[in-house]
Amino acid sequence: SPKNPQQKIIKRVIGLEGDFIRTLGYKNRYVRVPDGHFWIEGDHHGHSLDSNSFGPVSVGLLHGRASHIIWPPNRWQQIKPSLPPNRGPLDTGEEE
């Protein structure tokens, strides 16, 4: 958590450095993720403390990657990388 680095939170990475993101209530409607940062969001917009609240997050705060859900036992499963519809970097039309 950028507000309390001792607290661990799990969020979905929506964009990496250099990506342009359409935000969901951040102070700017569109953001270019700065170098050394990423954009994170929770699964419940409006009820999640994420980049829409505090902006891009330093990669130095990243501790790991969630790979499985293990609790409660009836939800045991591998987490497959995915983005919710209409989330993720914007296509700027630039060809590399």
pLDDT digits (tens, 9 = 90+) for 57-85: 999 988 888 899 999 999 999 988 878 77
Query: Do residues 40 and 88 lie in contact, with contact meaning Cβ atoms separated by under 8 Å?
Result: no
Beta-bridge mates of residue 1: none
pTM over 0.85, yes/no: no
Q: Over 60: is that where the pLDDT of 94 sits?
A: no
- With H, G, I as helix, E, B as strand and everything else as coil, classify residue 62: coil
Provide the percentage of residues in the chain whose pLDDT is more than 90: 53
Which pair of tokens denotes residue 37? 């940062």
- Mean pLDDT (whole number) for 7-26: 92
